Amino acid sequence: MRSTHEESRGALQDALRATLMEATGREVRENPVRPGSGGPAGNALLTAWTALVLLALSAAELLTLFDVRGLITWHVALGALLVPPALMKTASTGWRMVRYYAGETSYRQAGPPPLVLRLLGPLVVASTLGLLGTGVLLVLLGEDRSRQSLLTMAGLRVDWVSVHQGFFAVWAVAAGLHVLGRLVPALRATVLRAPVLPGSVAVVPGRWARILWMVVMVAVAAALAVALVHADGSWAT
């Protein structure tokens, strides 16, 4: 009989293998197509397109860190632009999870993500929302209030700026691993327009509804960016 240690090691190896196979596109999860919204296939497309928007904006936002003080207006604007797509991606993946655990047939057929990505997901969501939420709060509070001490831990003074930086550190690791696991499947489903199932067509119902959601997301993001850039000038040099 195999020992508990061997069983655990085998389970871990299987989980890592499943994650690697999906991350590299060598295994493709089945996303059934349904009339109307497209079902799991439509949900996967909306999530993938939103994720690519998030990736592009995140990359631009990271570039502002090379001179965050000099590029503070861009830093705030890009951070604001990130909020709606982050919320939409959270909502679309949350909807898929709810439908799966509610026992909806097509979502049960699609199945859950690989275990590693499933465990990483909550950390990605929490760190992303924490990072963006504290970023918005910093703008609304202004620099002076943001740098006021909240508490002292182990001799270190904690303020809202350090909380924001802490969320960034966690997000950088979690989101980086998430991108490695999701980039190829997202590109395959969107840019490469690969069929959602072997032998099926690449067209998934609900295209105009997905476009409408993306347009609304962009409009809200633009409005939020304008509002936050003009909310407080105390961070500008």
10: three-class secondary structure by DSSP: helix
Distance CA(204)–CA(199), nearest Å, equals 14
Q: Structural domain of residue 198, as residue ranges? A: 40-229
Name the least confident of 104-108, 111-115, 163-167: 111-115
Q: Which two tokens stand for residue 36?
A: 């109307």
Give the mean pLDDT of 28-49. 89
Residue at 219 is within a domain: yes
Distance CA(102)–CA(108), nearest Å, equals 9
Distance CA(17)–CA(114), nearest Å, equals 9
Residue at 155 is within a domain: yes
Tell me which residue has tokens 């799991």.
40
Residue at 2 is within a domain: no
pLDDT at 200: 47
Residue at 28 is within a domain: no
Residue at 177 is within a domain: yes
* 2: confidence class by pLDDT, cuts 50, 70, 90: low
Give the mean pLDDT of 200-211. 80
Residue at 30 is within a domain: no
Cβ burial, residue 136 (10 Å; 0-12/13-18/19+): middle
- pLDDT tens-place string over residues 41-79: 999 999 999 999 999 999 999 999 999 988 999 999 999
Question: Considering the entire predicted model, what is its pTM?
Answer: 0.89
pLDDT at 151: 84
Give the mean pLDDT of 140-165. 87
Cβ burial, residue 217 (10 Å; 0-12/13-18/19+): buried
Residue at 16 is within a domain: no
* Domain tally, the chain: 1
Stronger pLDDT, 118 or 29, i.e. the higher one? 118
- Phi, psi angle pair for 156, to nearest 5°: -105, 130
Residue at 13 is within a domain: no
Highest mean pLDDT: which of 14-18, 47-51, 68-72, 230-234? 47-51
Contact 222, 59 (CB under 8 A): no
